[in-house]
Amino acid sequence: MATAAATAVAIDVVICTYNRAANLHEALSALAAQRASGDVIWSVLVVDNGSTDSTGDMVEAHRSRRLLPGLRRVVESELGLTPARRRAVRETSAPWIAFVDDDNLLDPGWLDAIARAIRRNPESGAIGGRVVLDWEKPPPNFVKGFGWCFAEQELGQAACKVDGLVGAGMVVRRAALVECGWLERPLLSDRAGKRLMSGGDVEIAQRIRGAGYPLWFAPDAVMRHRIASDRASWHYLLRVNYGLGASEALVNALGWPGDWRSWRRAAQHRAVNRLARAFRQRRELVAALARLSYAIGFARGMCACLALAPEDRRALLGAAAAQKRATPRR
């Protein structure tokens, strides 16, 4: 019979935050309500990305309650989600790292569900659960159909291998993160301050997958993603679509198996098709504009790739292509 020590799963829960003390309080309170079994060993790290609000006081208040194991805070002065996450990896040591945003509210059984998924899929490189949108106020009709813009993740009722995972609530194997090269050299930018980009989230998942580690979806690991009322606006929807479009072009280059010239031809063809489809949209005006913003963002991302220095192009192109990576090691 396997011992508890043999089946124990160790997870460092990391929350990167910037000037959102109220959100952080809710996220930490949800974490404190976890009903993790004894064979889940976990601790909590808050990476403060240079906040000027009461973030530090908020963490200290939660530390004094002693409801969160190993809770501590470090300050990362370089602004951006990617630098904050890299600092988190270097500050922690558990074999698994859970990237939880400061507007993510984990259900009480989330940690146990993630631990079960890890045991059932020991070869996995990253695991994600259901991400349910939790609107601060009922959203207007024009955002319906754009849940993916807000990191919604609803992939069915059964656990399964997937091609990608959202960054919110993604749990990664430390060894896979190191082996894929992301920790040493991330290639795509991510959210920094109010700039809306998501390439860093996608890069982590795709580089892990490219290294030969499967990605798994665990439907019983449920997390609510709190969406502030100011995000339920047409202005935000257009901005986030533009950022996602630009990110897609960069991610496409990241996983491209061919040479630079073939990628350029394919990307130009895709950009033209996306713009044409956007102009043919006959939906509600805001939805049509959102798709147009995405298409323009994709074209902008393609131009950014074309403007890269030759050395940077070589580093980016195919960095997550599966055939360039070794098979996974457990």
Angle between helices 234-254 and 260-280 (to 10 degrees): 150
Q: What is the pTM of this model?
A: 0.90
State phi, psi for 298 to the nearest 5 degrees. -60, -45
Classify 4-232 by CATH class: alpha beta
CA-to-CA distance for 13 and 46, rounded, in angstroms?
9
Per-residue confidence in pLDDT tens, the chain, 330 aa: 344 444 899 999 999 999 999 999 999 999 999 999 989 999 999 999 999 999 999 999 999 999 999 999 999 999 999 999 999 999 999 999 999 999 999 999 999 999 999 999 999 999 999 999 999 999 998 888 899 999 999 999 999 999 999 999 999 999 999 999 999 999 987 655 455 456 788 999 999 999 999 999 999 999 999 999 989 899 999 999 999 999 899 999 999 999 999 999 999 999 999 888 887 766 678 888 998 999 999 999 999 898 989 999 899 999 998 644 444 444
Q: What is the pLDDT of residue 4?
A: 41
Torsion angle of the four alpha carbons 230, 231, 235, 236, in this order, in degrees rounded to the nearest 10: 140
State phi, psi for 305 to the nearest 5 degrees. -65, -45
Domain ranges of the chain: 4-232, 235-324
Q: What is the pLDDT of residue 145?
A: 86
